[in-house]
Structure 1
Amino acid sequence: MPELNPTDEFDSLASEPLPGVDSAEADARADGESRAAQSLSDQLELARAQAAEQRNLYLRALADFDNYRKRAQRDINDQSERGRRELLRRILPVLDNLARAEEYRERGTPAEQIVDGVVQTSKQMLAALAAENVRPIEVVGKPFDPSVAEAVATQPATDGVADNTVVAEVAKGYYIGNDVLRPAQVVVATKM
């Protein structure tokens, strides 16, 4: 007896028409299923291609944003460096004048002339600071305000001086714009 292969048996069954279905109808149904499968396969390929394109667009946008962020940070750093250089350029003449005052002292120039030069240099420094929107905080004779000054000492209030009034300035305070750059260090009158 010849040995039957299960695959051969299946192939022979598959080639036989189904009862109640003619072969043309079976072929049409198989052809329709094949077209539907091909259509689904095509749609899947299209969806995969669109997903890959969207991913590429996303990665490009991400890289563009990263480049923008780096460029913006570089611009901020460059602007800060330019501002720093400009401030230093304004301050260097003050340093030159202080060096001249030292030279004059070594030559034996009278102290009064040196002091006059230092006063002019101080004005030059204040002008350089003003160009950077830095200005002194005026506190002497005013009520003590801890937001712009720090009390480093107190002294008894004398006649005509109200309690908690700034009577002397140990170190000048400065604003930059409307913000306190450095608070003034002051002596405050107190009633004992």
Structure 2
Amino acid sequence: MPELNPTDEFDSLASEPLPGVDSAEADARADGESRAAQSLSDQLELARAQAAEQRNLYLRALADFDNYRKRAQRDINDQSERGRRELLRRILPVLDNLARAEEYRERGTPAEQIVDGVVQTSKQMLAALAAENVRPIEVVGKPFDPSVAEAVATQPAADGVADNTVVAEVAKGYYIGNDMLRPAQVVVATKM
């Protein structure tokens, strides 16, 4: 008796047409399924390629944004540095004039001339500050306002001076633009 190989038997059964199914119909069905599977495979590959392309676009956009952020920060730092240099350039002549006043004092220049030089230097400094939109807060002779001044002392009000009036400045206050840079330190009159 010949030895049966189960694989041969399976192959012979697989090649036989199924009962009630036309072999052309089976081939067409198999061919359609094969095309559908290929179409799905092609769609999957296309979707993967599109996803990879979108990821690359995203990474490029992310890198572009990071470069923009760094460039913007660098521009801000550069602008700040330019502003600082401009302010210092305006203030250095004031320092030069103060050094001259010291030289004049050492030479024995009369005090009145030195004081005049210091007054001119003070005006020069105020002009440099005004160029930076810094201006003094005017408080003397006005009612005390705690939003712009700090009372560091009180004194009895003289005749004709209303209670709670600023009578002297210990340190001048300043605005920069519309914001307070530093409040004034003042002496306030009080009725006792």
Category of TM-score, reference length = shorter chain? over 0.9
Residues 21 and 123 of structure 1: CA distance in aligned 2, closer, same or farther (over 3 Å): same
State the distance in 2 between where 1:53 and 1:149 align: 63
Q: Structure 1 residues 10 and 159, CA, compared in 2 at 3 Å: closer, same or farther?
A: farther
CA deviation map 1:38-93 (0-9, x unaligned): 00000000001111111111111111111111111100100000000000000000
Superposed CA deviations along residues 113-141 of structure 1, whole A, max 9, x for unmatched, are: 11010000000000000111111000001
C-alpha deviation, 1:145, in angstroms = 1.2
- Per the TM alignment, residue 189 of structure 1 is displaced from its structure 2 partner at its CA by 1.5
Shift in alpha-carbon separation, 1:3–1:74, aligned structure 2, 3 A: farther
| Cross-structure match for 1:64 | 64
Gap change, CA 1:132 and 1:2, over 3 Å in 2 = farther
CA distance in 1, matches of 2:2, 2:188: 122
Structure 1 residues 168, 6: closer, same or farther in 2, change over 3 A?
farther
How far is the alpha carbon of 1:6 from its aligned partner?
A: 5.1
| 2:188 aligned counterpart, secondary structure | strand
Matches within 5 A, 1:85-96: 85-96=85-96
Structure 1: tracts of 5 or more residues without a match = none
Q: Hey, what's the Cα distance between the residues in 1 that align with 2:165 and 2:4?
A: 117
**2:72 & 2:123 partners in 1: Cα distance?**
37
What TM-score does the superposition give when structure 2 sets the normalisation length?
A: 0.95
Change (3 A) 1:91 1:17: same
Q: C-alpha displacement at 1:7, in angstroms?
A: 4.5
Where do 1:1-192 residues align within 5 Å?
7-192=7-192
Superposition misfits of 4+ residues, deviation over 6 angstroms: none
Q: Deviations over 1:7-59 (max 9, x none)?
A: 44443332221110011111110000000000000000000111111111111
The separation in 1 between residues aligned to 2:146 and 2:14, in whole angstroms, is: 99
Other structure's SS at 2:41 match: helix
Write out per-residue CA displacement over residues 142-175 of structure 1, whole angstroms, 9 at most, x where no aligned residue: 1111111111111222322222211110000011
TM, length-normalised to structure 1: 0.95
Which SS does the other structure have where 2:101 is aligned?
helix
Tell me: CA distance 1:28–1:112, structure 2 relative to 1, closer, same or farther (3 Å).
same
Q: Residue 5 of structure 1: CA displacement?
A: 5.5
Compared with structure 1, are the counterparts of its residues 10 and 166 closer, same or farther at alpha carbon in structure 2 (3 Å cutoff)? farther
Once the 2 structures are TM-superposed, how far is the Cα of residue 4 of structure 1 from its aligned partner?
5.4
Q: CA RMSD in A?
A: 1.5
Structure 2: runs of 5+ lacking an equivalent: none
Q: The residue matched to 2:52 in structure 1 has which SS?
A: helix
Helix, strand or coil at the partner of 1:122: helix
